[in-house]
Copies of this chain bind each other. A is one copy, B any other.
């Protein structure tokens, strides 16, 4: 008989039907006569209750049906007498697919710390928490693809291995096929890359934006969704060495349309989560973050505040003048810290804020320069609990201004000729932004450590699994 998924069974009204169901045993309890098995197959946060008559099925047969074991159950779907479910399965037959020795299986009934679960990341998809998180992770990816697809954007794969480090967004991992025991060198001691795979120094990308711009200026509107890398030695709950980014880029969009797109996009994702992942979010709300659902609903209702950086700094300076204490100093020209961003969002406006027109010195070379000569058309979307969740800008479309900025910052022209070509040939206004996928997931799941929303996190000294 064909197996039915537990998520479908729990919604079924076909009481009396014969069913076949597989899954992993979460708990087992009962008496000498009857045993109750909570079975989960990963399709939902909810377990199916399997009721087994011990005499009928044989005590010996049930001996290895312990927490973590995998079984196939054939039986009848019946209305449940117990609380918490409206149907259950009365087992006619239980087949043990795989045992899990109670003395060595690490996921026993008792609760486990998130720290402990990180050490057994290969097993944590079997827990309630990570089942919920990874189902939500899937749904957020699907929301993203659906959003852009419906708007006529094209998903574009920018390269992972790159020979340019022009974006300057952070330290990079080097990619090589040289034997590190005997790296080939020139007479002056510099590394000789002639025999390396790419014939030159190559690294892992920190952003697909520059290549995304190339595509947008031919295909019109594109988005990337791929892994990016930072070799920064940051052991914080907010940083990963390997993470996924979404970067839309749109020809003919200016900063205003870019802000509209970002706001619509992130509201669409949050709405999708509430519509499609309600049970999982409810579980995480109850277990980890009682304010989660409220926070998700609140970002949907209000328009985001749109505010110039200069105004934002004024508000923060006012707060300091009135006695609010920040760890880091606030002044015009400073890169805002998470505490500043969260003050604006959580204390001052009590809703998300899009901060624009930052000083050009603290932003990337490719951002469109304003006429004041001091600021650029950057836009950061600031969120409660998270701080910056999206960073973007209108891009500098003018060849001469872009070239000047590249020269000021001493970015090597060998890495830039192709990027400049888009401004040389048929340039146009365009804009885009980047969303860190795991930042979005922190917001949507309410988890507080980024290692808990990435299946196998890579951090300093950690590349296990």
Contact = CB atoms under 8 A, between A and B. Distances in A.
B181 A191 contact: yes
Nearest to A100: B425
A160 B227 contact: yes
Interface stretch (A182-190, A367-375, A376-384): A182-190
B176 A24 contact: no
B198 A458 contact: yes
A426 B460 CA distance: 32
Interface centre among A214, A241, A461 (most CB of B within 10 A): A214
Nearest to A178: B180
A158 B154 CA distance: 23
Contacts of A135: 154, 219
A422 interface: yes
A349 interface: no
Given A142-B155, A152-B7, A231-B197, A122 B214 contact: yes
Nearest to A253: B3
Contact of A461 (B159, B198, B429): B198
A382 to B, nearest CB: 26
A123 to B, nearest CB: 7
A335 interface: no
A315 interface: no
A152 B465 contact: no
Contacts of A353: none
A42 B418 contact: no
Interface stretch (A27-35, A77-85, A199-207, A317-325): A199-207
Nearest to A194: B461
Contacts of A171: 177
Interface in A6-63: 7, 22, 24-25, 41-43
A137 B134 CA distance: 26
B217 A126 contact: yes
Given A227-B227, A251-B41, A425-B98, A156 B134 contact: yes
B125 A218 contact: yes
A131 B219 contact: yes
A125 B219 contact: yes
Contact of A418 (B68, B397, B465): B465
B98 A397 contact: yes
A427 B97 CA distance: 6
Contact of A174 (B7, B137, B176, B190): B176
B174 A154 contact: no
A429 B202 CA distance: 41
B251 A42 contact: yes
A286 interface: no
A98 B426 contact: yes
A93 interface: no
Contacts of A160: 160, 227, 229, 242
Contacts of A98: 397, 423, 425-428
Interface in A68-98: 68-70, 72, 97-98
A112 interface: no
A204 B218 contact: no
Given A98-B426, A197-B460, A454 B161 contact: no
A155 B131 contact: no
A186 to B, nearest CB: 10
Interface string A126-145: 11001100110110011001
Given A43-B219, A159-B455, 20 more contacts: A22-B252, A68-B425, A68-B426, A97-B427, A99-B426, A100-B425, A122-B421, A123-B214, A131-B218, A134-B156, A134-B215, A135-B219, A137-B156, A161-B229, A171-B177, A180-B180, A198-B458, A199-B462, A226-B227, A418-B464
